[in-house]
C-alpha cells in the first residue's frame, strides 16, 4: 500500500525576529556555508531565507511543460514557489467547472501561441502569458472533470480526451462550429508538433 509523501516548507521570520537559541540559526548558517544565499532568487531578497508571498491558491498551472500544460485543483492546499503558477478564482466561480473548461483544443492552442519554446521542446508560460490563455468557462463543464481526471491519470492520449471535451466545451457550451473546432485543433497540433520536433 502506498503511503502519502509530505514535503514541508520551512517558514522563517525576518532575521531580526529570529530566536537566536533555536536550531533555525544554525540551519541558516549551514546554508550560507554552502553558498545558497548567493543564488539569484536568494540573493535579491532582504533576508535570503525568507520566502516571499506565501499564499495557498485555488489551482495550480504548471509553468514548464512537455506535451501540454496542466491546470490542477490545489486540493492538497500546497504552497508553491515558481515551478507552478498560482491561480486564484473570482468569487462565484466553480473550481471544477473552471478546471475542466481549460481542457480543450482552443485553450491548448492559446498556450502554444502565448508561451515560449525552450531547449528540448519545453513549453514555458510566464504569468502574463498564462493570463492571455482563453478559457471558455461554463458552469456545466464541472460534470466533465472526473472523466478528464481519470483519462489523464490513465495516460490516455490527449487527442482522445479532446475529442470528448471539444464536443461539449467548445461546441455545446461555447457555440463553436465543427469547422472552427477543427481549425483550433489544427493550430494546436501544428504548433505543438513544431515545438516538440525542434527538441529532437
Residue whose C-alpha is closest to residue 142's, from 171, 168, 181: 168
Q: Considering the chain, what is the average pLDDT of its residues?
A: 92
C-alpha cell at 44: 535579491
Q: What's the pLDDT tens digit per position in 83-141?
A: 789 999 999 999 999 999 999 999 999 999 999 998 789 999 999 999 999 999 999 99
| CA–CA dist 126, 177 (Å, integer) | 31
Report which DSSP code applies to 38.
Answer: G
Q: What contacts 15, CB < 8 A, 6 or more positions away?
A: 47
- In the chain, the percentage of residues whose pLDDT exceeds 90 is 72
Extents of the domains making up the chain = 20-52, 59-198
Report which DSSP code applies to 76.
Answer: T
| CA–CA dist 182, 52 (Å, integer) | 43
At 4, is the pLDDT very low, low, confident or very high (cuts 50, 70, 90)? low
Q: What's the pLDDT tens digit per position in 156-175?
A: 999 999 999 999 999 999 99
> Hey, what's the torsion of the CAs at 49, 72, 126, 115, to 10 degrees?
150
Residue 178 has a CB neighbour count (10 Å cut-off) of 11
Instruction: Tell the burial category of 119 from Cβ atoms under 10 Å away from its Cβ (0-12, 13-18, 19+).
Output: exposed
CB 113 within 8 A of CB 184: no
Instruction: Tell the burial category of 69 from Cβ atoms under 10 Å away from its Cβ (0-12, 13-18, 19+).
Output: buried
Amino acid at each position: 500500500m502506498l503511503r502519502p509523501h509530505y514535503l514541508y516548507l520551512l517558514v522563517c521570520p525576518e532575521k531580526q525576529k529570529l530566536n537566536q537559541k533555536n536550531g533555525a540559526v544554525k540551519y541558516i548558517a549551514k546554508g550560507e556555508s554552502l553558498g545558497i544565499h548567493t543564488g539569484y532568487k536568494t540573493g535579491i531578497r532582504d533576508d535570503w531565507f525568507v520566502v516571499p508571498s506565501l499564499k495557498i491558491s485555488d489551482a495550480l498551472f504548471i509553468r514548464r511543460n512537455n506535451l501540454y500544460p496542466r491546470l490542477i485543483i490545489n486540493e492538497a492546499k500546497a504552497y508553491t514557489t515558481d515551478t507552478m503558477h498560482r491561480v486564484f478564482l473570482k468569487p462565484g466561480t466553480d473550481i471544477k467547472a473552471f478546471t475542466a473548461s481549460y481542457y480543450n483544443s482552443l485553450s491548448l492552442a492559446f498556450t502554444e501561441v502565448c508561451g515560449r519554446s525552450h531547449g528540448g521542446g519545453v513549453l514555458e508560460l510566464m504569468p502574463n502569458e498564462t493570463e492571455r490563455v482563453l478559457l471558455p468557462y461554463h458552469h456545466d463543464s464541472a460534470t466533465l472533470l472526473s472523466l478528464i481526471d481519470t483519462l489523464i491519470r490513465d495516460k490516455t492520449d490527449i487527442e482522445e480526451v479532446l475529442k470528448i471535451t471539444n464536443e461539449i466545451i467548445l461546441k455545446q457550451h461555447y457555440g463553436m462550429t465543427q469547422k472552427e473546432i477543427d481549425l483550433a485543433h489544427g493550430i494546436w497540433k501544428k504548433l505543438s508538433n513544431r515545438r516538440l520536433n525542434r527538441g529532437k
